[in-house]
Amino acid sequence: MIAPSILSADFARLADEAAAVAGSDWLHVDVMDAHFVPNLTLGLPVVESLLKATDIPLDCHLMIENPGRWAPPYAEAGAYNVTIHAEATDDPISVARDIRAAGAKAGLSVKPGTPIEPYLEILKEFDTLLVMSVEPGFGGQSFIPDVLSKARAVRKLVDSGELTLIVEIDGGINTDTVEAAAEAGVDCFVAGSAVYGAADPAEAVRKLRAQAAAVSPHLTLAV
């Protein structure tokens, strides 16, 4: 799956920018509050408008403090997947339950320096694990390959049937890095600058998907 990140899109033309990546699996929406990360992007009103403007399922990545207060409204609004940061809450389980009760998939994200081991036990409460492969806050940064060990560890648990989870990666994904992530067992690839910086964003999505599918060890169907 490929999820273009609208962080690299033109915010004054979001409906057109969503249409430019028609055929994507998810549209990734980076919500930043200038507290959890040193950047400010968009919030619920923009997500509500985007939901009316596109049929692509919205994958909301909340880089915010107090996700227990702010995450469920994204699910109620109709986001497909709502991801919170492990570092932003002491009670990720109850936030996941609230997101699911409000009708969305629940995601857990970990920053590059956050180990996954302490969270393995609670991953059954989540539908997606978003492995950050850059420090959250900005698009256009370089991929950090060390984080792939986390994707590999969780992939093993999914393949052995211990977990049912989509493994997602976010940050620095492009034609040079997507294969390494796919080989590590990632299912869903977020790409901002590699898609919206391309002359033809839809073609960039198709190319990334084909590259990933060609090397994904766990894929049995050609995409």
Binding positions for Fe ion, rule: CB under 5 A:
30, 61, 170
CB of 136 to ligand 5SP, least distance (A): 4
Is residue 185 annotated as involved in ligand binding? Answer: no
Q: Say which of 25, 33, 59, 170 is annotated catalytic.
A: 170
What CA–CA distance (Å, rounded) separates 80 from 1? 14
Nearer to ligand 5SP, 134 or 184 (CB): 134
For the window 32-71, what string marks contact with ligand 5SP as x by the rule CB under 6 A? -----------------------------x----------
Task: State in angstroms the smallest separation of the CB of 7 from Fe ion.
Answer: 7
* 209 scored as a contact of ligand 5SP (CB under 6 A): no
- Among the listed residues 30, 33, 59, 98, the single catalytic one is 30
- The minimum distance between CB 116 and ligand 5SP, in angstroms, equals 18
DSSP states of the chain as a string?
Answer: -EEEBGGGS-GGGHHHHHHTTTT-S-EEEEEEBSSSSS-B---HHHHHHHHHH--SPEEEEEE-S-HHHHHHHHHHHT-SEEEEEGGG-S-HHHHHHHHHHTTSEEEEEE-TTS-SGGGGGGGGG-SEEEEESS-TT-SSPPP-GGGHHHHHHHHHHHHTTS---EEEEESS-STTTHHHHHHTT--EEEESHHHHTSSSHHHHHHHHHHHHHHH-TT--S--
Return the residues of window 82-121 that contact ligand 5SP according to CB under 6 A: none
Q: 30 among the known binding-site residues?
A: yes
Asked if residue 78 belongs to a known ligand binding site, the reply is no
30 is catalytic: yes
Say whether residue 141 binds ligand 5SP (CB under 6 A). Answer: yes
Report CA-CA distances (Å) from 148 to 141, 151, 179, 194, 218. 16, 5, 11, 19, 15
Asked if 16 is an active-site residue, the reply is: no
Q: Report the partner that residue 67 touches, choosing among Fe ion, ligand 5SP, none (CB closer than 5 to 8 A by kind).
A: none
Which residues does the annotation place in the binding site for substrate? Answer: 5, 61, 137-140, 170-172, 192-193
Rule CB under 6 A: which residues touch ligand 5SP?
Answer: 5, 7-8, 28, 30, 61, 134, 136-141, 170-173, 190-194
**Binding site as annotated, residues for a divalent metal cation:** 28, 30, 61, 170
Show which residues are catalytic.
30, 170
